[in-house]
Chain A
């Protein structure tokens, strides 16, 4: 904002005065905010990413330039195999996830399937279950001998061994898919929701039956959204740490993330880890670019004007088949794992059947009162999540507002930096922050702040896109009306913008809080003995085979998540977590 002023006569003697005035003009509140924001974003995003790349080319001993880290990282077939395994796992899980998600999204969005609301809520529920909690549930269900499914099979058939082994590649792929399919569901459903019924009616009047209409018109129209979200799931699986750590390691193979974790075991080889993570970053950037290209063809679903009414397709008896499929999925992803975890949390020994003699409250007592490490971790988890959600919401809003209203010269650049962490898997982000802020001069390792700033960076794209779309829906004339009535920009923000957007800001706060309480991969290398969070502790307990205490922790975590979600739902409506674009 440049203020117009009436210039007085000037002469040479007045020149220094003008310089001072010019500097005073430059240091107005807007520039200060700009500099501050730029500094914060450089600290949170640019510097860590830079350190990652720099470290990958740095010799640990004398800080000189080298390619040796890359040679080490990709020199052994075992390491390269981990990369291949990750790609295969990503592909298999994404394929499973789309087989699960697309029929459900279609059933809920476009058909007269019974229980559509129920199915939708079930999908949201599986979205809320942290993948590693689901994985633990499935270890208890599908372990080769003691797993409940196998025991039930042996009891029924009299066979000496069960048929199912979760500790295999396909077991891992299935469990991974069960907790990543909601993403595809959400994208597919919102694309299907946008297709007007006239598109289908046009096919139908020209002679296409319901099946032909669905296969030749409806699904092809949603295809860009489906493909885009399949890519996202592929990327998510690539960066997933918890589930592979729980299942792949016992099964005897490595993926990229578990291999990265191995580089962090003593002695910590950050430089090698940095080099090893480069393909993941490259793939992420490439796939996200493709995904954006796919979704950029927005006109795909919005051709034409009025007449966008929608009617569900009548499936006849087939609707019960689709519903049964949805029930099986809900059973696999929500009911069965949660039942087994709930039961285990009240058991003395998880492999024994539920009986009065096996019942105990000891696990909860341990978790809540006796075990100091667990209490500390619970406290840390919620503290970090609250702080992260607050900073993220504020920062995301600030950048979104400034870039939407173009208040600063480089506001678009600020927006791009804010979105950049989206292309970086959580575990790589952890390496970035370890490389940037663990060594001196910052020496943040062991402080909660290191975990929090990494979390903030990880979730910043979410709060930014949330705020961005909310502000997009807000007409600038509302603020201009304040300005013309005599208020300044700050007053417009305070009196008009924030009151209108408070719900959507609260929604993104809740969302970040919820995913903050369960974030594992970013916390992995950053939390020290005093700054452990629940997710990291869960993994350690699982290595020790303490499934009973682990289940009690999971139950507590899910209870808190459930209550927070319920509050959000009551205040903001059922789908408050899905409103990002």
Chain B
């Protein structure tokens, strides 16, 4: 049975539909991210799951029991969930230990048991030595760990994370997202993670739901999401994509300046669309014409930028108006105006739905 199920979940604020008929199921122990830009409804969805907001329509079910609907909602304190807040929301008037113990006290856990579990979880997040400190005496990363410990110590049914890393600087963010995944592997708590940062979602999640305008555009594991985006929105939101227009020509597909046998395209069924996505990373650049049965395009570099880990080239075809963005490794250096050949594996050309309602 699914741990958590959202069925037709909808939230309107006045005339504005923030979450629009959203359906989502989580298996027990699964880690799912809601990924999308600000205003896409991801935080509202999370707050409906937590019980802070009641849905306008639809339901939230946990273990098959309805906990939220338009007519009745179980209050947050009775859902046995935990939440990591954007601001951490550590209580500044309590020590680390008191912060972590709070949820156990609410659950009326016996004193010895409480002490043991608090000590244990603080060791897990490597904060045992700071138990007597106050939150404002800790660094941002340590505060984040306290907030994780406070949420995990109660062994919640579901863990909700609301952009937990957005207040940390870049290095710490990378460290903490690893930490979050490690803790998930250790405790296996069903988790929902809201973020606008795709690398956070990629590194932590079993599945990612890409949200746009209150709907889920696509929900898949990170690799599938990256290699086989279903919609133009997902293709452009995750990684860098070139969007190509294709025209069927018998058994072949005609693009601007080249043709490919339709059978060789990266498809999983009949192609019903004219739009295709081609990842910038999936194009190779050569200084000489390579020998290959893949698609070869001749042209020149018209712009370049060195991003540190990659080169970002803009390519202009000699034979057509086609322009492509290409990512190349740091040692593949080409100058602006240099003649180059691009090599494209047709299976990386992925058909996408140009209409995101499908």
Interface residues, chain A, with chain B CB atoms under 8 Å away: 196, 198-199, 201-209, 212, 216-217, 220-221, 223, 299-301, 303-308
Query: Given contacts A221-B93, A299-B136, A301-B92, is CB(A203)–CB(B87) below 8 Å?
Result: no
Nearest 8 Cβ contacts at the A-B interface: A304-B87, A207-B106, A206-B103, A307-B86, A198-B89, A299-B136, A307-B87, A202-B89
Docked-complex contact A205 and B87, CB < 8 angstroms: no
Query: Closest residue to A201 on the B side, CB-wise?
Result: B52
Q: What are the residues of chain A within 8 A of B90 when measuring CB–CB?
A: 202, 303-304
Query: Given contacts A303-B136, A306-B166, is CB(A220)–CB(B102) below 8 Å?
Result: no
Centre residue among A217, A304, A307 by max chain B CB count within 10 A: A304
Can you list 15 residue pairs at the A/B interface with Cβ under 8 Å?
Answer: A196-B87, A196-B89, A199-B91, A202-B85, A202-B91, A203-B91, A205-B77, A205-B82, A206-B77, A207-B103, A216-B102, A221-B93, A300-B93, A306-B87, A307-B85
Q: What 1/0 mask marks residues of chain B from 86 to 113 whose CB sits below 8 Å from any chain A CB?
A: 1111111100000000110011000000
Query: Closest residue to A223 on the B side, CB-wise?
Result: B93
Q: What are the residues of chain A within 8 A of B92 when measuring CB–CB?
A: 221, 299-301, 303
How long is the Cα–Cα vector from A299 to B135 in the complex, in angstroms? 9
Docked-complex contact B106 and A206, CB < 8 angstroms: yes
Docked-complex contact B102 and A206, CB < 8 angstroms: yes
Which one of B50, B52, B135, B167 contacts A305 once the chains associate, using CB atoms below 8 Å? B167
Tally of A-B residue pairs with Cβ under 8 A? 97
Q: What are the residues of chain A within 8 A of B81 when measuring CB–CB?
A: 205
CB A305 to nearest CB in B, in angstroms, measures: 4
How long is the Cα–Cα vector from A199 to B99 in the complex, in angstroms? 11
CB B255 to nearest CB in A, in angstroms, measures: 44
Docked-complex contact A304 and B76, CB < 8 angstroms: no
Please give 10 more A-B residue pairs, beta carbons under 8 A apart, in addition to A221-B91, A305-B167: A198-B89, A205-B83, A206-B103, A209-B75, A300-B93, A301-B92, A304-B167, A305-B86, A306-B166, A307-B86
B202 at the interface (CB under 8 A from A): no
Q: What are the residues of chain B within 8 A of A201 when measuring CB–CB?
A: 50, 52, 76, 83, 85, 89
B154 at the interface (CB under 8 A from A): yes
Q: What are the residues of chain B within 8 A of A305 when measuring CB–CB?
A: 86-87, 167
CB A223 to nearest CB in B, in angstroms, measures: 7
Docked-complex contact B79 and A306, CB < 8 angstroms: no
Q: What are the residues of chain B within 8 A of A205 when measuring CB–CB?
A: 50-51, 76-77, 79, 81-83, 160
Docked-complex contact A206 and B86, CB < 8 angstroms: no
CB A302 to nearest CB in B, in angstroms, measures: 8
CB B80 to nearest CB in A, in angstroms, measures: 8
Query: Closest residue to B108 on the A side, CB-wise?
Result: A207
Q: What are the residues of chain B within 8 A of A209 when measuring CB–CB?
A: 75, 77
Q: What 1/0 mask marks residues of chain B from 43 to 66 whose CB sits below 8 Å from any chain A CB?
A: 000000011100000000000000
CB B14 to nearest CB in A, in angstroms, measures: 16
CB B201 to nearest CB in A, in angstroms, measures: 19
Q: What 1/0 mask marks residues of chain B from 110 to 136 whose CB sits below 8 Å from any chain A CB?
A: 000000000000000000000000011
How long is the Cα–Cα vector from A199 to B91 in the complex, in angstroms? 7
How long is the Cα–Cα vector from A301 to B91 in the complex, in angstroms? 9
How long is the Cα–Cα vector from A562 to B290 in the complex, in angstroms? 89
Docked-complex contact A306 and B103, CB < 8 angstroms: no
Query: Closest residue to A222 on the B side, CB-wise?
Result: B93
Which one of B52, B89, B154, B167 contacts A207 once the chains associate, using CB atoms below 8 Å? B154
Query: Closest residue to A298 on the B side, CB-wise?
Result: B136
Query: Closest residue to A196 on the B side, CB-wise?
Result: B87
